[in-house]
Structure 1
Amino acid sequence: MSTKKIALVTGGSRGLGKDMAINLAKRGLNVVITYNSNAKAALETVELIEKEGGNGIAIQLDARNIKSFVGFKNSLTEELQSKFNTSSIHYLINNAGFGHEGSVANTTEEAFDDLMNVHFKGVYFLTQTLLDTLADGGGIINISSGLARFSLPGYSAYASMKGAIEVYTRYLAKELGARKIKANTVAPGAINTDFNKDRFEQAPQVVDIIASLTALGRVGESEDIGSIVAFLCTEDAAWINGQRIEASGGMFV
């Protein structure tokens, strides 16, 4: 059995999740990542994990399909047994997601439901499904957004899901404390990843505007977030629990 701890990162094949996975490997963890449809990108991320000295596994998961979660858990357990001779993970990072922009007046029920299924309902029930796979003394990191603290027109539905995640995280910390499992939220500000790529390319002035609203004077990059998530998966962060950690460079402080 490997003595390394194991972290599961949903949506770990690209963007912030990819950087989280690489940083976790740098910290000495083995990493399981999930991907929705891009198996090639997932395998490339596994290669990067292994270049950093970790062992990696990629498993397909549709984070909006709650009925598939038991099957995913079975696949996860099989892979863990096969590669690491264990049936447990130590850290669950609920990162999978997508962006959405739409005013209160224009957001459709379909768009709202899609956001809820991935960003809140999916997180809630995937976590529930994996509770007995998560080792005592481990941790859960849920990804929120700076938009749950400050308000920008066009993000009401997306930000509402992230606000719900922050409340959910505090309840996880409370209910799982008896098992010494910690639960925290990391809330990125505006980050220059494929999540925001189209918006930034269509309106490059937005980057300058965001930088001007940020105390450190720039837009965030993936590596600004991955290292924080990895830190929370170490003993150095053992006394951090039930907290919201915003990583936005001081946006709207």
Structure 2
Amino acid sequence: MSSTSKRSPVALITGGSRGLGRSMALHLADHGAGVVITYRGAAAEAADVVKQIEEKGGKAAALALDVGDIRSLDAFAGAVKAELAGRFGRDQLDCLVNNAGIGVHASFAETTEEQFDALMNVHLKGTFFLTQKLLPLIADGGRILNISSGLARFTFAGYAAYATMKGGVEVLTRYLAKELGPRKITVNVLAPGAIETDFGGGAVRDNAELNRMIAGQTALGRVGLPDDIGGVVALLLAPESGWINGQRIEASGGMFL
């Protein structure tokens, strides 16, 4: 886990109350990081993540955030600054993980402008401007990790709008790595493959036929689990990974090779 000082590092993970974000938070805490997670509506689930971390002797906090509400980001940055000072005795973050997301499944022909805008506001515009607002709070030598999707490489019908946003996140990652290089902040993008969570209505987890199809097209012979991704995030934010920068890393078990 990257740290710019001898104190325990602090990471902020958006969408940390459930699924992949929850696993990321628990893995990072197990590696000694303080963790701030955000949630949009799942306050009870977020509180449970904080409780689990604290029961193990770690430090954690949960803050409400709708990443797609750009007008709220200034106030959110202020809340993060206050939480860092009050709970962690810090004035800066070491790591930011842009994980929050929503899923929409619709054919290209049937995708509405409202669906397109919702995806753009959360995945692309939200990632862009939340990172911009938090940049003064990220320590020099820190880490930014954006979350993309295997769907930016391989193609499933019905995800044109979603994958378009993730493709934008991947391009943004390279530009951030270039522009933040003088501050020694590394920026990478992690692209999970199909994972058994409630994302997108839980189709990968709950549809046995879909699950078998994906497993059959994956070199390791199964669909991914949240802890597969939580572990990779801890790895990518570890001190030993500090020379990885501006890269797309796919964690899919070898889907569609």
> What is the rounded CA distance, in whole Å, between the counterparts of 1:51 and 1:166 in structure 2?
36
User: Is 1:64 the counterpart of 2:64 in the alignment?
Assistant: no
Partner of 1:140: 144
Post-superposition offset of 1:201? 6.3
1:93 paired residue number: 97
Question: Is the CA contact (8 Å cut-off) linking 1:28 and 1:53 kept in structure 2?
Answer: no
Q: Deviations over 1:139-158 (max 9, x none)?
A: 10000000000111111000
Q: Can you give the 5+ residue segments of structure 2 that lack an aligned partner in the other structure?
A: none
Q: Could you say what secondary structure the match of 1:7 adopts?
A: strand
Contact 2:152 2:164 in 1 (8 A): yes
Give identity over the alignment, percent. Answer: 54
Q: How many residues align?
A: 253
CA contact (8 A) 1:166 1:244 kept: yes
- The alignment's TM-score, normalised by the length of structure 2, stands at 0.95
Q: Within 5 A, what are the aligned runs for 1:165-204?
A: 165-200=169-204, 203-204=207-208
Tell me which amino acid in the other structure corresponds to 2:18: R
How far apart are 1:196 and its partner, in Å? 4.4
Q: Is the 8 A contact 1:12 1:18 kept in 2?
A: yes
Alpha-carbon contact 1:102-1:155 (below 8 Å) kept: yes
Q: Give the C-alpha shift of residue 225 in structure 1.
A: 0.4
Q: What does residue 125 of structure 1 align with?
A: 129
DSSP-derived class of the 1:24 partner: helix
Letter in 2 for 1:199: A
Q: Work out whether 1:80 is the aligned partner of 2:80.
A: no
Structure 1 unaligned spans of 5+: none
Pick aligned residue for 2:109 from 93, 96, 105: 105
Distance 1:24 1:216 in 2: 25
Residue 232 of structure 2 is aligned with which of 214, 218, 228?
Answer: 228
Q: Is the 8 A contact 1:2 1:84 kept in 2?
A: no
Offset, 1:197: 4.8
Q: Are the counterparts in 2 of residues 22 and 52 from structure 1 also a CA contact under 8 Å?
A: no
Other-structure match for 2:222: 218
Paired letter, 1:225: I
Question: 2:24 aligns to what?
Answer: 20
* SS of equivalent to 2:172: helix
Q: Which deviates more, 194-203 or 160-169? A: 194-203
